[in-house]
Each structure stands twice: as structure tokens, then as C-alpha cells.
Amino acid sequence: MELGPWIEKQARLSADLMEHAISATHMRRTRAQFGQIIVPARGSVLASPAIADWNPEPDYYFHWVRDSAIVMRTVAELAAHARDDAERRRWTRHFEDFVAFSLRLTRLDLRNFDSHSGRSDPAFRKFLRRDEDVRALTGDALLGEPRFNPDGTVDILGWSRPQYDGPALRALACGRFLAAGGRASAEILDLLQLDLDFTGRHAGETCIGPWEEAGENAHHYYVALVQFGALVHGRRFLARPAPEAEARLRRLLDAHWSAENGVYAAIAPPAGGRDDLIDSACLLGVLDADLPDGAHSVDDPGVWATLDALDALFAREFPINRGRVAPALGRSRRDRYFGGGAWYVTTLAAAALYYRGAIRSADQGLIARGDAFMATVRDLTPADGHFSEQVDRTTGEPTSARDLTWSYAAFISTAYLRADAVRRVGSRS
């Protein structure tokens, strides 16, 4: 199938599969080893609806603040591009349910948290959080939680904390919804102000990065950039700007530049050679922050230099990229999570940057380069159209989580960018 028709077909399927993870009240998840029975609430977003227990697939049956915000930004796009009023109302309802659910998460009272230790299998108690740590979750500590159970209860398992990109991404999603004509309800404005205030207070602080590596409590380019983007875009909707926080983030973002290697480093201060500094999370940060211009936007030559370096790295490192016009991208050279393969979201990020660049520059050649990355995604997509989290670097077979909701959201958003680029610039293909 030609690329354009395949993208349209896959985008429709991706929307259906993504929606299956939103307000999945029809599902039921039992974690017998922890004494849990979980039925997702309205407004929750499953990172993956697949039932797995790390044997061998990961358990992503959680409402991640980061993932859910990215998905809801795509929901806002789907509402804006809806074919009729009924479809627009459906996607709008999903977004409004998400806002209500998110607000409930920020108001959890855990002072009388009932420990699961007594209900858990003794062999699994080592994975539980300490009761006193859960009971201490209030205020910013609660807002810095990376994930919750989709029924609206606290995550009782150990994980990499704190994470400060989730509220910023949620603010960006709310801003996208409002910019597309969504209703400025009291609830969405409350959530937006809550998230922007939190982002301002924690702007530039060290935290766990987007890949949630336990040993990387550091200054992450991705986190700082989405925080900066949230504050910049947030000026449009709310009356409490944070110029000091913006200036602090701008200085930190600039400190990620490695003049010696000519790339943005994922973690600051930069240390090491080029291939050890770069990470595809930098590309995701540029896309998610969506700055209007200047440094750290699609107009920044350093962003394109970093993309070129990632292109060269994975073209060389992954056997599946032999002979490809555009390589499938992984996360970083050191990544070994579930084999450290190519991710759909990172490969789509490369395509999306080229499409966004084409829109800015009216360069048809950038559309063609974006299409080369989309053709790689097509080649690595199973016949049934279901996206996993990643594919094996050698065989191209799906690995890690099945039906990763983020993968579907990334595809839909990239398809919209391509359509916009072709409409504005035209295409030679």
C-alpha cells in the first residue's frame, strides 16, 4: 500500500485502539500477589490495556501522568479534527472526564492509608512502598507522583520518583484543548493553574527523567524543556506568569549544549563523547514543548544536529536498519530495557520534526525525509496494525508492552502534522 493511504488507515485504527485504553471501565485487572482488584474509572488512561506481570511483558496497567497527558493532547487534536458534532462531543467528553479524574488524583487523602502488606504474597512484599512514604503523599509530593492505579487509588509499588514532567505535560494538554476551542470550564482552569504553579515551583530541579531510570535523578533536557513549554504556553490562559522560573529553565536548557560535540545532551552537565550524550528524549522534548521559535524549537540548528547524530547512531547500531533510507530510532546507545530496541514513539518523533520543519520552511524535501521515517514505521508495523512499545533491534519483532497507548497517540499526532505539511507545502510524492 502506498504511504499516504496507509497512514490514513493506520491513523483511524490507532484512534480506535487508543480509545480502548481511555475510561476502560469495562475491564478488570487482578494483581493477586498484592491483593488488588482494579476496575478503571472514567477519565483514566491505561498506559497499556494488556494484562502482564513482567513475565515476560511489563505491567503497564497504570494511569501514568506523563503518558495520559500525551494521549489527551492527541484527544484534543482528534476533537478539533472531528468529522461531525457527534465525534467531536465524544472526544471532548473523554478530555473532560480526564480533567475530572486528574483533579481527584491531586486531592487524595492518604493519611489513613491501609497497608497492603498483610494482603500481599510474602514473596512480593519487597516490591511494596513503605506505608509511611505513602501516608506522606500530600501537596507537591502527591503532584510529583509518576503514576496511579486507573481506579484512582495510589500506586503501592516502588518506582522511580519524583518526576516533574507530568504536571507540565498535563498543562500543555489542557492548553492544546483550550486553544482548539474547548470549553474553559472551572475544572480545567483549576487543573491548569495547579499544574503550572507546581511547574514553576519545581522548574529546573533535579528529578527522574522521561525513561524513569532509577539512577538518573538529574537535570534532564526533556523535563526542563516541557516545563519551559508549559510556562510559555500557559501565559495565554492564566494570570500568574513565572518569569523567574522561565529564566531559570532557559539557562538550564542552554547548559545542555555540548559545543565540543555539537549536540544537545540529554543530561546536564554534558560529559562524554557525542554518542553517549545523545538520547531521543531530546527530540520528544522539542515536539512536546512546541515552542513558537528560537532556541530549543524546531528552528534551532542544534536540534537538527542532534537528530542527525541520533540518525547516524542507530543506523550503525541496529541490524534492522541495514539498507534503510531512514533508521528506526531507539532511546540511547546505553539502553538495554527489554533489549534496547527501536521505539515507535522515537522513530515517529523524527518524522514529526521533519514535518514540523517543512511547515516552518515550506521545504518539500523535509516532507520527503519525514516520509522516509514513516515508511520505516510502516515496515515495522505488524499486519494487524497493533503497536508495541518497541521492536527488537535485530529481528524487528514486537517487544516489551503490547498496545502501548503512547505509540498510538504519537502516530495520530504525526499523521496530522504530515497532513498539515502536505496541505501547506505540497508534496512531490
pLDDT at 23 over 70: yes
CA–CA gap between residue 311 and residue 263 (Å, rounded)? 12
Single-letter code of the amino acid located at 76: A
Burial class (CB in 10 A: 0-12, 13-18, 19+), 118: exposed
Alpha carbon 103 to its chain's center: 20
Q: What is the CATH number of the domain that holds 358?
A: 1.50.10.10
Q: What is the mean pLDDT of residues 7-23?
A: 98
Q: What is the mean pLDDT of residues 365-390?
A: 98
Q: What is the pLDDT of residue 428?
A: 54
Scan for cell 504556553, then name that residue. Answer: 233
Q: What is the pLDDT of residue 239?
A: 67
Nearest to 20 by CA among 425, 417, 385: 385
CA–CA gap between residue 41 and residue 145 (Å, rounded)? 18
Mean pLDDT of the chain, nearest integer: 96
pLDDT at 179 over 70: yes
Q: Which tens digit of pLDDT belongs to each residue from 109-120?
A: 999 998 777 789
31: enclosing H helix or E strand: strand 29-31
Q: What is the pLDDT of residue 62?
A: 98
Look at the chain and report how many structural domains it folds into.
Answer: 1
Find the radius of gyration of the CA atoms of the chain. Answer: 21
Q: What is the pLDDT of residue 118?
A: 75
Q: Which tens digit of pLDDT belongs to each residue from 45-83?
A: 999 999 999 989 999 999 999 999 999 999 999 999 999
Q: What is the mean pLDDT of residues 188-204?
A: 97
Q: Which three cell numbers stand for residue 123?
A: 514473596
Q: What is the pLDDT of residue 197?
A: 96
Q: Give the residues across from 263 on adjacent strands.
A: 258
Q: Which three cell numbers stand for residue 312?
A: 547516524
Q: Which three cell numbers stand for residue 189?
A: 482552569
> Is residue 134 classed as helix, strand or coil in its secondary structure?
helix
Q: Give the residues across from 220 on adjacent strands.
A: 267
Alpha carbon 259 to its chain's center: 28
DSSP string, 217-280: EEEEHHHHHHHHHHHHHHTTT-S---HHHHHHHHHHHHTTEETTTTEE-SEES--S-HHHH--T
CA–CA gap between residue 23 and residue 111 (Å, rounded)? 27
Q: Which three cell numbers stand for residue 282?
A: 531530546
Least confident range of 207-216, 235-244, 370-379 = 235-244
Q: Which tens digit of pLDDT belongs to each residue from 119-135?
A: 898 999 999 999 999 99
Sequence-distant (≥ 6) Cβ neighbours of residue 369 within 8 angstroms: 326, 354
pLDDT at 240 over 90: no
Alpha carbon 372 to its chain's center: 23
Q: What is the pLDDT of residue 238?
A: 80
Q: Where are the beta strands (DSSP E) in 244-402?
A: 257-258, 263-264, 267-268, 342-343, 390-391, 398-399
Single-letter code of the amino acid located at 84: D
pLDDT class of 347 with cuts at 50, 70, 90: very high
Handedness of CA 162, 168, 171, 173 (dihedral sign): negative
pLDDT class of 427 with cuts at 50, 70, 90: low
| Distance between start and end Cα atoms, the chain | 14
Nearest to 389 by CA among 378, 400, 375: 400
Q: What is the pLDDT of residue 115?
A: 74
What letter would DSSP give residue 185?
A: -
Please give the C-alpha separations between residue 86 and each of 71, 90, 92, in angstroms, as whole numbers.
20, 6, 10
Q: What is the pLDDT of residue 1?
A: 76
Q: What is the pLDDT of residue 96?
A: 98
Alpha carbon 389 to its chain's center: 12
Q: What is the mean pLDDT of residues 320-334?
A: 97
**φ, ψ (nearest 5 deg) of residue 286:** -60, -45
Please give the C-alpha separations between residue 163 and each of 8, 168, 325, 336, in angstroms, as whole numbers.
35, 10, 36, 21
- Per the structure, the complete domain to which residue 33 belongs is given by 3-425
Alpha carbon 300 to its chain's center: 21
Q: Give the residues across from 64 on adjacent strands.
A: 147
pLDDT at 429 over 60: no
Q: What is the mean pLDDT of residues 385-410?
A: 98
pTM of the predicted model over 0.95: yes
Q: What is the mean pLDDT of residues 216-241?
A: 93
301: enclosing H helix or E strand: helix 301-317
Q: Which three cell numbers stand for residue 98?
A: 480526564
